[in-house]
A and B are shown apart, each in its own frame.
Chain A
Amino acid sequence: MSVDKRTVAKIADLARIAVTEDELEPLVGELNNILEWIEQLSEVNTDGVAPMTSVVEVDLPWRADKVTDGGYRDAVLANAPESEHGFFTVPKVIE
């Protein structure tokens, strides 16, 4: 499988990374090199093999339903590039 400029543009859009027209062509090459290299996996027979879901053999830990966190708005907003009246703010979204 290989990607073309249109596909790379689409992926970049999904990943929300601005890519200029000039950057597209070299990216196509780089990604195709990697994809081609990865392609060798298709020769492995994985019939009936379960995908790995976790490397550790333990049970998912459950926590009690207690309020143990939160309540520190200033710390939550401390690193925000922009905030106002206790909210994070972003460029206006037109729905």
Chain B
Amino acid sequence: MTKLTELTLAEARDGLAKGDFTSRELTQQYLSNMEQGRELNSYIVETGDIALNMADKADEMIRAGNATGMTGIPIAVKDLYCTKDVHSCSASHILNGFKPKYESTVTANLWADGAVMLGKTNMDEFAMGSSNETSFYGPVKNPWRATKENGELETKDYVPGGSSGGSVAAVAAGMAIAATGTDTGGSIRQPAAFTGLVGLKPTYGRCSRWGMIAFASSLDQAGPITKTVRDAAIMMESMASYDVKDSTSVERTVPNYEHALTGDIRGMKIGIPKEYRMDGMPDEIEKLWQQGIEWMKDAGAEIIDISLPHTKYALPTYYIVAPAEASSNLARYDGVKYGLRVEGDGLDGMYKNTRAEGFGAEVKRRILIGTYVLSAGYYDAYYLKAQKIRTLIARDFAKAYEKVDVILTPTTPSAAFAMGEKSDDPIAMYLNDVFTVPASLAGLPAVSVPAGLSEDAMPLGLQLIGRAFDEETVLRAAQVLEHATGFSAKPKIWWGEK
């Protein structure tokens, strides 16, 4: 019999419904895997007691015939979500000890559907990072390690991507069926690609941001990280909702995303943007993309060349808009209401010491950049300019969607890299998000699907970007792609008992 923790979310749901096993049994196996995988550092806090409690309640729901797709499903929650009375610190020291007295809307939706919380996952501090190396709680290790020419696994550690690094590592290592992530510039899709998982960033406004610790308000979106596209569809339906407490949430009924997975994309128009063919892009990425195009063509889709002329400006635009918003969003961490306080000379001294000690280097860097680009005399040249280019980027997409239904691109310009490799060069690190950031700036739904392995057998992903609120088309295409890739690789287990 396969281990319960090898089941997909959909399989687990069906097994629970049939009574093959209980949520408590499923949860217990995950808790034991979590214990085995502690050296990956993917969880900041494990909430075993809460999980078993929730599992029992879920079993009750199932017995009573009130189950939904998520009932009894053990999931990991990114530390950025506020979970009532449970550690919620966005992996920052500045929120030291913070236990909110409220539950984020997205997690509340999941719990209402009977999902089970296994713990809070590690992440880049305040979601600022692409490698999960900026966490106050230490870096997360990718369960995947490259394979050397002699066929043996590398012994060095690889990054899982970021910022949802703990979430992807937990799912990839069998320590959660699925996980919540958040995506500001690629923080769901890039780590999903680095760990052979499906990561969906829905349309901005599809999920409520209420109770999500803000990084960049106009970009932040919640989304699922799962083993399969079907799993993403099931979990997305539970997470999404209109929320009167979030003024940017959109009032639209949440479709049954699983129903959209018809497996049929005949006649679907798929755009291939020429600007995503970048200088210095590794051959294997180019090849994978080409392969993806062939797969979609074989499935009956129509391939159309398109142009998104402002693509190259997306990343620098992002690195103005996101830090600017962050510099303001993070002003509330001042040692007064919650979290860390470090005394100093008077009130200002307390502020300065608290924030100097509470924030890590990358967060400080972004706060300083954000403060600078908003400051008197620079606002027009930086922030205003960036918001104008953002309009142009959104326009590029709008024009493209006059001709195509969905756009296919690589998710990342490379596979996961070794820990420490890029941590000294912020811009090299930022370049990880070059393919994911444009959709974020335009607020569009996008998914990363595992599509193959690199030369040294590390996972690679392809990205599908759709029209606003057309997650259904994105997921339908993604599932066809997933099927075509036949991707089934799993990381070889090197962690745990030696």
A75 to B82: give the CA distance in the assembly, Å. 14
Per-residue interface assignment for chain A, residues 8 to 36, with 1 indicating a CB less than 8 Å from any chain B CB and 0 otherwise: 10011111111100000001001101110
* Chain A 77-91 residues near chain B, CB threshold 8 A: 78-82, 88, 90-91
Q: Is the pair A3, B346 in contact by a Cβ cutoff of 8 Å?
A: no
CB distance from A42 to the nearest CB of B (A): 8
Find chain B residues with CB under 8 A from A57 CB: 468
The interface size bin for chain B is 35 or more
Chain A residue nearest to B318 (CB atoms) is A38
A52 touches B394 (CB 8 A): yes
Interface bits B325-340 vs A (CB < 8 Å: 1, else 0): 0010001001111111
A67 within 8 A of B: no
| Assembly CA distance A57 to B336 (angstroms) | 36
How many residue pairs between the two chains, A and B, have CB atoms under 8 Å in the bound complex? Answer: 164
Q: How far is the CA of A3 from the CA of B365 in the complex (A)?
A: 13
Q: Of all chain A residues, which has the CB nearest B321?
A: A52
Is B98 interfacial (CB 8 A cutoff)?
A: yes
B302 to chain A, nearest CB (A): 28
Distance, CA A63 to CA B247, complexed state (A):
10
With both beta carbons as reference points, the residue of chain A lying nearest to B221 in the complex is identified as: A55
Complex Cα distance, B392 from A46, in Å, reads: 8
Is B356 within 8 A of A19, CB to CB? yes
CB-CB contacts of B425-460 with A at 8 A, as 1s and 0s? 011000000000000011100000000000000000
Which residues of B362-410 have CB atoms within 8 Å of chain A's CB atoms?
364-365, 367-369, 371-372, 375, 378, 381-382, 384-392, 394
Contact with B along A53-86 (1 / 0, CB 8 A): 1111110110100000000100100111110000
Number of A interface residues, CB 8 Å? 52
Point out residues on B near A: beta carbons under 8 Å.
Answer: 97-101, 203-205, 218, 244, 247-248, 250-251, 310, 312-313, 316-317, 319-320, 327, 331, 334-341, 343-344, 346-353, 355-356, 359, 364-365, 367-369, 371-372, 375, 378, 381-382, 384-392, 394, 426-427, 441-443, 468
Q: A11-B371, A18-B355, A52-B387 are in contact. List 5 more A-B contacts (CB 8 A).
A: A41-B389, A44-B389, A54-B248, A58-B250, A92-B347
Can you report 23 A-B residue pairs in the complex whose CB atoms are below 8 A from each other? A1-B378, A11-B368, A14-B375, A17-B367, A17-B368, A18-B353, A19-B356, A31-B372, A34-B319, A34-B427, A38-B319, A50-B391, A51-B384, A51-B391, A52-B391, A53-B387, A55-B394, A56-B468, A60-B247, A81-B340, A81-B341, A93-B346, A94-B346
Residues of chain A whose beta carbon lies under 8 Å from any beta carbon of chain B? 1, 3, 7-8, 11-19, 27, 30-31, 33-35, 37-38, 40-42, 44, 46, 49-58, 60-61, 63, 72, 75, 78-82, 88, 90-94
List 4 A-B pairs, minimum CB-CB distance, nearest first: A55-B443, A51-B387, A79-B338, A18-B356
